[in-house]
């Protein structure tokens, strides 16, 4: 787990000249790897690396050079992540091909697999990863990103080369070296205000992009990267005809999860686990306890009643038999920390839950270096309440198209806040029109009021069109899951998980997002995922003997943050100050924004999520565009609590 940087230049001389700039840029990514840092030039490529040592701590230094006996220095690799099946891969490569390894880590496994399997090696990796490999003989760079997008990888191309990095701020530091001049991505801003995040492959700077999840690429110096998708995330739903077949499926789920957690526990440092009040993190913690009897779990909450899962998590921890650590977050801490957290994010993500996640990650890092977490279970097993919407809207499917459109027009005449307005609006739309992920921040009518650069031709369907095309023959629930895998999961859930933990030099592992777990989850029929009474039905059946009863059938709380209340009271004046001091007038109508804040305070409408999205963008703009807000970034320092 680390932070990588790479610069592919047109010539060796240009690469050597760029090396000091790469070394200097690494300083803004120290939090991702405080254990070691360094650069190396190999031919036309400059490698930079910050290491957080987890496996084979004394060795496996990066950039790492490897090659077969006849050419031992052929390849150089920079790798961020963990390969959980590296022991099995090493054994296969040794026994079948005579591969020779010089370390006990997983990094050599990747490059050796590439040598013997070529680009197909990436499909054999079971883990989270972003890497670049330079082949000195072919004069070509090969790289890729894990299937689900757990680990980030940014890239930018200019006249003086192509840069890659684990964080966007590295490429902003290298803008002059690359001869690029990144500007605001206005289309990306509109998507952000709709979706709560900037969708891949874009970022909020127009010349900096992200390698998409499940993609690999090749690059020859002086040319443009050529990308190829290797993980389409196909759902192949099986038919379950009997109770015996259903039970067999539940057993397969249990087995896959147990195996995944076992492999995710592989480390040369202590592994802990996040623990909320839900079944996802609880089953992960319970299975992890089987491998570490001294497991420590961590949870966070708020002092406001109804906005905390602390008591439920504590009860689960007691029943599982683990030491438990709690961190409570206040409104003042949310306000004080948001600029620094936004700096760590690189791009705005308007998910309030990332703030308490940052605090509990900071607390956890004083006890452990690695934590497990439950991200991905909802997308794979059908855990979101919104997935039940096809059931609730089934009556609308029988209404003729013209009449449905008329119903939609009627909904526009109903005042905001009136019960049934949104149900009528959504019932009039097709699935492709109405569903674009779990977060729906600004609808068009509100967006027109606040966004000066509003473009009616920019639509969420620009983002969701491909996943919907690929899933046209699937049932509605599975199609919604498929959309979320390529939008919400990688745009929000995994971004906040990676950025907030790595901000504290803490490695987060997600056992649900494992190819073998996905292989089973993708076969579950919709009637065993969503029922009229519950979500994640098959998963609940599979883990009924692992998870405590008080959690198993508990309603999903979704880790709510009490910004609806705080923006009326404790946060009101702060929010107004953020808006008034922001220099975003060319993009936003600040008078309209202030009106939203006052309407929310008076209780006219709940604008809390819209206000939060605007505030996060304004703070982001103040840091990365105006250079007005300058968060004090602490040096990584982790005294361990005994």
Compute the distance between CA of residue 520 and CA of residue 254 in angstroms, rounded to an integer. Answer: 10
Compute CA 522 distance to the chain's CA centroid, rounded to the nearest angstrom.
Answer: 20
Compute the distance between CA of residue 179 and CA of residue 159 in angstroms, rounded to an integer. Answer: 6
Q: What is the 3-state secondary structure (H, E, C) of 304-357?
A: CCCCCCHHHHHHHHHHHCCEEEEEEECHHHHHHHHHHHHHHHCCCCCCCCHHHH
The residues pairing with 205 across neighbouring beta strands, listed in sequence order, are: 184
- Which residue has tokens 């090659």? 67
Residue 9 among the catalytic residues: no
H/E element holding 274? strand 271-274
Count the alpha carbons within 13 Å of 613 in the hemisphere toward its beta carbon: 25
What's the burial of 337, exposed, middle or buried (CB within 10 Å: 0-12/13-18/19+)? middle
Choosing from 1, 2, 99, 279, which is the catalytic residue?
2
Output phi, psi for 76, to 5 deg.
Answer: -130, 135
Two tokens at 100? 């020779």
Compute the distance between CA of residue 622 and CA of residue 564 in angstroms, rounded to an integer. Answer: 24
- Which residue has tokens 């700096």? 343
581 is in an annotated binding site: no
What are the Cα distances from residue 359, in Å, to 15, 200, 282, 507?
39, 27, 20, 15
Q: Closest Cα partner for 113 from 123, 103, 127, 102?
A: 123
Q: Closest Cα partner for 479 from 467, 488, 490?
A: 467
373 is in an annotated binding site: yes
- Residue 446 burial (CB count, 10 A): 18
The residues pairing with 229 across neighbouring beta strands, listed in sequence order, are: 215
Would you put residue 397 in left (φ > 0), alpha (ψ -120 to 50) or beta? Answer: alpha
Q: Closest Cα partner for 387 from 287, 187, 528?
A: 528
Buried residues in 113-132 as b, exposed as e (16+ CB within 10 A): bbbeeeeebbebbbbbbbbb
Compute the distance between CA of residue 462 and CA of residue 161 in angstroms, rounded to an integer. Answer: 30
Compute CA 40 distance to the chain's CA centroid, rounded to the nearest angstrom.
Answer: 29
Compute the distance between CA of residue 619 and CA of residue 612 in angstroms, rounded to an integer. Answer: 11
374 is in an annotated binding site: yes
CB 209 within 8 Å of CB 216: no
Compute the distance between CA of residue 157 and CA of residue 278 in angstroms, rounded to an integer. Answer: 43
Compute the distance between CA of residue 137 and CA of residue 608 in angstroms, rounded to an integer. Answer: 56
Grouping H, G, I as helix, E, B as strand and the rest as coil, residue 105 is coil
Annotated binding-site members: 106, 373-374
Known binding residues for ATP: 373-374
Task: Report, as residue numbers or ranges, the catalytic residues.
Answer: 2
Binding site for L-glutamine, by residue number, is 106
């Amino acid at each position: 787990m680390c932070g990588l940087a790479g610069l592919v230049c047109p010539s060796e001389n240009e690469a050597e000249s760029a090396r000091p700039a790469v070394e200097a840029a690494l300083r803004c990514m120290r939090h991702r790897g405080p254990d070691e840092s360094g650069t190396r030039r190999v031919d036309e490529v400059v490698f930079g690396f910050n290491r957080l040592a987890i496996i084979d701590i004394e060795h496996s230094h990066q950039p790492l050079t490897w090659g077969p006996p006849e050419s031992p220095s052929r390849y150089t690799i920079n790798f961020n992540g963990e390969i959980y099946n590296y022991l099995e891969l090493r054994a296969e490569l040794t026994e079948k091909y005579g591969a020779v390894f010089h370390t006990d880590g997983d990094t050599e496994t990747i490059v050796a697999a590439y040598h013997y399997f070529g680009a197909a090696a990436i499909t054999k990796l079971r883990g989270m990863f972003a890497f670049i490999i330079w082949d000195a003989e072919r004069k070509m760079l090969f790289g890729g990103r894990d299937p689900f997008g757990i680990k980030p990888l940014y890239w930018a191309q200019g006249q003086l080369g192509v840069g890659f990095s684990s964080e966007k701020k590295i490429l902003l530091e290298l803008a002059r070296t690359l001869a690029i001049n990144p500007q605001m991505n206005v289309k990306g801003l509109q998507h952000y205000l709709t979706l709560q995040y900037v969708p891949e492959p874009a970022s909020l700077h127009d010349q900096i992009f992200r390698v998409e999840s499940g993609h690999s690429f090749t690059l020859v110096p002086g040319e443009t990267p050529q990308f190829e998708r290797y993980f389409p995330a196909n759902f192949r739903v099986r038919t379950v005809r009997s109770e015996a077949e259903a039970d067999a499926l539940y057993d397969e789920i249990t087995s896959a999860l147990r195996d995944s957690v076992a492999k995710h526990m592989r480390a040369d440092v202590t592994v802990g686990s996040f623990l909320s009040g839900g079944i996802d993190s609880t089953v992960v913690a319970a299975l992890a306890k089987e491998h570490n009897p001294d497991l420590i779990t961590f949870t966070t909450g708020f002092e406001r009643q109804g906005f905390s899962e602390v008591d439920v998590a504590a009860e689960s921890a007691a029943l599982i038999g683990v030491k438990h650590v709690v961190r409570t977050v206040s409104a003042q801490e949310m306000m004080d920390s948001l600029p620094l957290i936004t700096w760590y994010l690189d791009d705005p993500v308007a998910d309030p839950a990332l703030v308490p996640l940052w605090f509990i990650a900071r607390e956890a890092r004083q006890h452990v270096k690695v934590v497990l977490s439950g991200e991905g279970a909802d997308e794979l097993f059908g855990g979101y309440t919104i997935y039940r919407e096809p059931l609730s809207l089934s009556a609308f499917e029988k209404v003729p198209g013209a009449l449905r459109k008329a119903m939609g027009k009627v909904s526009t005449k109903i005042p905001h806040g009136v019960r049934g307005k949104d149900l009528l609006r959504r019932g009039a739309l097709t699935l492709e029109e109405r569903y674009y992920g779990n977060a729906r921040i600004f609808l068009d009518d509100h967006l027109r009021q606040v966004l000066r650069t509003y473009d009616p031709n920019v639509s969420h369907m620009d983002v969701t069109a491909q996943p919907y095309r690929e899933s046209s023959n699937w049932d509605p629930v599975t199609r919604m899951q498929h959309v979320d895998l390529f939008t919400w999961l990688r745009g929000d859930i995994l971004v906040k998980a990676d950025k907030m933990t790595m901000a504290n030099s803490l490695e987060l592992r997600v056992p649900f997002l494992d190819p073998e777990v996905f292989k089973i989850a993708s076969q579950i029929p919709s009637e065993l995922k969503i029922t009229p009474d519950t979500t994640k039905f098959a998963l609940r059946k599979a883990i009924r003997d692992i998870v405590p009863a008080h959690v198993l059938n508990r309603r999903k709380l979704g880790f709510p943050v009490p910004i609806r209340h705080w923006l009326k009271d404790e946060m009101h004046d702060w929010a107004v100050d953020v808006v008034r001091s922001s220099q975003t007038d060319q993009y936003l109508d600040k008078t309209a924004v202030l009106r939203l804040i006052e309407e929310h305070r008076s209780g006219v409408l709940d604008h809390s999520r819209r206000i939060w999205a605007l505030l996060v963008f304004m703070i982001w703009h103040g840091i990365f565009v105006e250079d007005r807000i300058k968060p004090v970034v602490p040096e990584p320092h982790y005294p361990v609590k005994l």
